[in-house]
Amino acid sequence: MAHASSYKPNTAVEKWFDDRLPIMRLMHDQLQDFPTPRNLNYLWTFGGILTFCLVVQLMTGITLAMHYVPHETMAFDSVEHIMRDVNWGWLLRYMHANGASMFFLAVYIHIARGMFYGSYKAPREILWILGVLIFLAMMATSFMGYSLVWGQMSFWAVTVITNLFSSLDSIYPGLGTTIVQWIWGGFSVGNPTLNRLFSLHYLLPFVICGLVALHIWALHVPGNNNPTGISIKTKADAIPFHPYYTLKDGFALSVFVVLFMAFVFYAPNYLGHPDNYIEANPLATPPHIVPEWYFLPYYAILRAIPDKLFGVMAFAGSIGLLLFLPWLDTSKVKSARYRPIYKWFFALFMIDVLVLGYLGAKPPEGWYLIVGRLATAYYFLHLLAVLPLLGWIEKPSAMPGSITDDVLGKKPVAAK
């Protein structure tokens, strides 16, 4: 959102620097004096929390990489060396491992908030698409990082997931197998695979940083969405980001850090799998291979389809469809607060995702498989049918005339 600069250099040095490289002006205008809707709730603090998570992952990851050995015969022992011999290595490793879970917890809340309040709708389509691309990069980075432990679950997760590319043999014989062997660097998961995953795991976080910079840039062009979905109309509708939202974000972050540290110090392995404390053994397959908890809904979708190729397509489509939400949702009203029917379907969709997450940790058999297929069917039904149809048939509730009216509780007006 364009606004007049209020930055004033206080010294001759600041003025000299501002005339040549106005970084301080940019930071002041975009991070301090940026006009922000005055009615943002605590769900909007997760943008700042995600930035914190990214910084923690970068700092701990770079330090851990200084001690990690990406070799199939030494990787597992190097992780134990970090835990036992490196000063504060146990803390760095637990912060990095649990930080990934906290990162995904925050990003799922961030995505759910965007879906509920219609933050993907015009003029924020590019902002939403960049956010989904960040999510995809996070998934790839996390999967590669999980493999580096080189424990039983990590090793077999790599074997299963990379083997998904072999489904392309159904389209063009030999194509999928060639891709799998290229990824592996041979005919099985081994040292070349580990080296490639380590290199990409180190590289992708910097790609994420670039996408985050674009995401923030795309946010500051139209400005923040808000719980009403109504744009800023007057100066009374907005307040400076600092000190109001910096304090609010700071409080929310402190609460989040308490939760984060509770896992790090009191339950550091609660979100992991015990089989990862067994060194990788290509000759012993675990009885039940499961990914990290934040991949479980998509893993359940993958296993719900009996055909391998169509399962992979459903897995990819479950994430890829998020890119098209700005066009799948035909309603002109952004916020679900004023969509009496959609809010119930949204709640059902959230329950459906949680059910898929639960089923992803269970063996694909019996009732688990049947319910998984029903939950998968509703996942796609919601995105491909419910969203477009509700936009045409739903009558929105009365909406406030402005953000200020919403804050002051003035009588709403009927939506057109």
By the 8 A CB rule, do 404 and 237 touch?
yes
As a whole-number percent, the residues of the chain with pLDDT over 90 amount to 90
Q: What pLDDT digit, counting tens, does each position of 272-306 carry?
A: 999 999 999 999 999 889 999 999 999 999 999 99
Q: Which two tokens stand for residue 71?
A: 């070799």
Q: For residue 151, what are the β-bridge partners? A: 279
By the 8 A CB rule, do 164 and 301 touch?
no
What does the pLDDT average to over 217-242?
Answer: 94
On whether residue 382 sits in a domain, the answer given is: no
Buried b (16+ CB within 10 A) or exposed e, 346-379: beebeebbebbbbbbebebeeebbebbbebbebb
Pick from 388, 319, 321, 381: which is nearest to 349 by CA?
A: 381
On whether residue 228 sits in a domain, the answer given is: yes
Q: What pLDDT digit, counting tens, does each position of 383-406 carry?
A: 999 999 999 999 999 999 999 999
What per-residue confidence (pLDDT) applies to 287? 87
What per-residue confidence (pLDDT) applies to 415? 54
Q: Is 68's pLDDT higher than 60? A: yes
What per-residue confidence (pLDDT) applies to 414? 61
By the 8 A CB rule, do 141 and 84 touch?
no
Q: What pLDDT digit, counting tens, does each position of 100-115 carry?
A: 999 999 999 999 999 9
Instruction: Determine the Cα–Cα distance for residues 204 and 183; give it in Å rounded to an integer.
Output: 16
On whether residue 151 sits in a domain, the answer given is: yes
Mean pLDDT of the chain: 94
Q: Which long-range contacts (CB under 8 A, 24 or more apart) does 126-134 make?
A: 126/218, 127/215, 127/218, 127/219, 127/222, 128/325, 128/326, 129/323, 129/326, 130/211, 130/214, 130/215, 130/218, 131/215, 132/319, 132/322, 132/323, 133/211, 134/107, 134/208, 134/211, 134/212, 134/215
What per-residue confidence (pLDDT) applies to 413? 63
Q: Which long-range contacts (CB under 8 A, 24 or more apart) does 41-46 make?
A: 41/227, 42/248, 42/252, 43/109, 43/113, 43/117, 44/113, 44/224, 44/226, 44/245, 45/248, 45/249, 45/252, 45/253, 46/106, 46/107, 46/109, 46/110, 46/113, 46/252
Q: What pLDDT digit, counting tens, does each position of 249-268 carry?
A: 999 999 999 999 999 999 99
Model pTM? 0.95
Q: Is 134's pLDDT higher than 60? A: yes
What per-residue confidence (pLDDT) applies to 416? 52
Q: What pLDDT digit, counting tens, does each position of 78-100 carry?
A: 999 999 999 999 999 999 999 99
On whether residue 256 sits in a domain, the answer given is: yes
On whether residue 291 sits in a domain, the answer given is: yes
By the 8 A CB rule, do 347 and 410 touch?
no
Q: What pLDDT digit, counting tens, does each position of 162-184 carry?
A: 999 999 999 999 999 999 999 99
What per-residue confidence (pLDDT) applies to 85? 97
Residue range(s) defining the domain that contains residue 30: 23-295
On whether residue 357 sits in a domain, the answer given is: no
What per-residue confidence (pLDDT) applies to 29? 81
What per-residue confidence (pLDDT) applies to 4? 73
Q: What is the CATH number of the domain that holds 250?
A: 1.20.810.10
On whether residue 191 sits in a domain, the answer given is: yes
What per-residue confidence (pLDDT) applies to 5? 80
pLDDT level of residue 6 (50, 70, 90 thresholds):
confident
How many independent structural domains does the chain possess?
1
Pick from 107, 83, 84, 106: which is nearest to 95 by CA?
A: 83
As a whole-number percent, the residues of the chain with pLDDT over 70 amount to 98
